[in-house]
Structure 1
């Protein structure tokens, strides 16, 4: 036990909602501890993203105590979410051993993966059930001490990520722990303990047993937590990326796909930068970049079989996304956006007549243009194409007409690539046009409500 005067965690750093839950449980005669990533982050001088509570109170007792603020969630793990305004405090009852054969709610697969886990236990048992020593620290609201049943405090000081118990057995119980090990090592800048690294090669194929929807959520946590580049390198180092995205991993080291790898690296860098700046990020844009190498290869193969380029791309998109369904399943709402980003790439090449105006009016123009820019940065397409579209977006009606004419002359070989930029006097901020009256043309001069290629959700939890 570490007494209050020997650690840096203060109640003033804990959210009001978490304090209400901790104090409410304590006053009702239950044990109540802040646990997991929030305690770890506070000890490291970081600001926690959320607060979790562990208690000896059973879920129904917690729900009864907080009434309208509480609801039960989960099947494999029954938890209570207690809500105060926009904040949700997750409350879990102390867990016991899932190997208790007398309890009908426990169970394992043939490989040892835990299938049901509603066995309640003591505080000490709960600590042994946690995955990493750094996440098995408990802040006691009763006396404000910190309880450590392993080597958590020592490992925090040394920057080491260590598994509680036998690593191979723990990976077998829940293969996702391998992904969590990579994520925490990248997020905290910790070194993964040698004992934790050793069994990964033998256990990584067990990730195939995990539901693909859960793997998608874990992948989001890896890539949308501000450490996407480091997480990516760790995944590849331990062979985990090859299990999650085999069709992509097989291409990344080939010289002919160097541009595709550079595009992915740029996307990871951009995602990390947006997270650091507090901007929103979306899985659709990142996954479009992540799967681009596989999409290109498959599309080229279909073209060699005689399919038109547009048809080949559409079929390749369907096949690549279908292949992911058995591993890291991309939800439909993101898959549709990804397809639009991919399929709009060819339309950037067609700059004659009213086509540029129609593309500019597309709801996914901004996301597709950002992807085009990544392709240019990676050397996959000429920078002059991106420059032309940047000028097109900034120009007024006459300026755009000049640019379209220049593109026509360029394509027929009559004039250099771009020619002079339309004069500043012909540039003005974009504005929304009024809806056309019946009988008039329907092409808008710019899109209404376009996204920037990154709006959406961000997931990162402990």
Structure 2
């Protein structure tokens, strides 16, 4: 049975706790066969090999991991020599990927915190870890991991769980706790602050007081992280089925103003709370779609997250007397450009996001119905309109009109926009429209 609790800092002496098979719920039937294949081959060739990290953590709380990572004392080159289906990746962290069709088993060599000169480790002057390829023992590896819940090792030879940092008990108590001194660990990698919030939201854990305390103070360090990395972390925060709790966690711990600065300012200025209500309702819908295994578009997600900022920018431009259409385009561009300073939103998502915003004004015009129905972004924009109705009843009539227009268009040929225009009048009564001839007769005199 587990004995002795500890939460050491890097460099402290560790005492191994071995949790035998009959004291934990992990079974080989819940582990990827390919991960087992990698573990057994490494063991058969004389290397230590353990399932590690999130998979062990999730299995302990009854979850179903999608990714299975392996830690070993074999170097990346030695791993590659054992598996023909292996490729080496990474500069900051040198890793081996063993590929089985669409599944990748990530194999990492035990890493150490102290460089004796034989490894490759580089720190930014502010304490941020730029490169970490110093290899060590399993004890070294355990201490350098971020959270105690992620520093658990499943041993294939006796099916036990090895715990060096008190992580087993923290998982049982549903606590996210950093290993080592929190401020130092966050300075090494500021994205750990987002990971703390995301994992707590995903697992239903609380963040340990000492782990949470530095978050508001150190939040500005996130601006030093690569915008592309923050984009990927943003997708994990909001597209993993726990978007609402992730958003609330970012608010609670003072991280939202750095990650989504203009949205935070807009929500604060919106005294009615309607924008925040809409945003949370949209995130609930996102969680529901993920739970139902339905696709979720990053473009729609960021249209939702940045909508408060867009509305605020639009109101400011219109207050200056700018024409509505021009103000909409300017507001969309301004919000997008400013957000790109923090999160590298790719154009394949930022352009559809802007289209979703710009199409909102066309729903109130009810002109060229067929053309709007045929717009490639219509469905996403209409779903966004429905979401806006959840925050304000003023859009109920528009939603009803465009819902009826879609119903009228069902079953019609793809190029029947004129017929849809004819049937989707304000009263819903069909009327014939005369096709206007092109040429001098159709131009102003």
TM-score, normalised to structure 2's length?
Answer: 0.88
Alignment partner of 1:84 is 2:100:
yes
Q: Which of 87, 107, 110 is matched with 1:71 structurally? A: 87
After superposition, the Cα gap between the structure-2 partners of 1:57 and 1:380, relative to the gap in structure 1 and judged at 3 Å, is: farther
The number of equivalent residue pairs is: 408
Once residues 52 and 228 of structure 1 are traced to their aligned partners in structure 2, the CA distance between those partners, rounded to angstroms, is 25
Residue number in structure 1 paired with 2:376:
363
- Residue correspondence of structure 1 range 11-50 to structure 2 within 5 A: 11-50=28-67
The answer as to whether partners of 2:216 and 2:253 remain within 8 angstroms in 1 is yes
Residue number in structure 2 paired with 1:348:
363
Once residues 253 and 358 of structure 2 are traced to their aligned partners in structure 1, the CA distance between those partners, rounded to angstroms, is 33
Once residues 250 and 380 of structure 1 are traced to their aligned partners in structure 2, the CA distance between those partners, rounded to angstroms, is 24
Alignment partner of 1:232 is 2:247:
yes
- Residue correspondence of structure 1 range 31-430 to structure 2 within 5 A: 31-67=48-84, 69-97=85-113, 99-100=114-115, 102-103=117-118, 105-256=120-271, 258-352=273-367, 355-379=368-392, 381-395=394-408, 400=420, 404-405=424-425, 407=426, 418=427
Once residues 136 and 143 of structure 2 are traced to their aligned partners in structure 1, the CA distance between those partners, rounded to angstroms, is 11
**Contiguous gaps of at least 5 residues in structure 2:** 1-17, 413-417, 431-436, 439-445
State the Cα RMSD in Å: 2.0
After superposition, the Cα gap between the structure-2 partners of 1:380 and 1:91, relative to the gap in structure 1 and judged at 3 Å, is: farther
**Contiguous gaps of at least 5 residues in structure 1:** 408-417, 423-439, 442-462
Once residues 357 and 178 of structure 1 are traced to their aligned partners in structure 2, the CA distance between those partners, rounded to angstroms, is 48
Once residues 161 and 214 of structure 1 are traced to their aligned partners in structure 2, the CA distance between those partners, rounded to angstroms, is 22
Once residues 116 and 329 of structure 2 are traced to their aligned partners in structure 1, the CA distance between those partners, rounded to angstroms, is 51
What secondary structure sits across from 2:376 in the alignment?
A: coil
In the TM superposition, residue 255 of structure 1 has moved relative to its aligned partner by 3.6
Deviations 1:8-62 (A, max 9, x none): 2111111111011111111111111000010111111111111000001111111
The answer as to whether partners of 2:198 and 2:246 remain within 8 angstroms in 1 is yes
Once residues 81 and 225 of structure 2 are traced to their aligned partners in structure 1, the CA distance between those partners, rounded to angstroms, is 33
In the TM superposition, residue 322 of structure 1 has moved relative to its aligned partner by 0.9
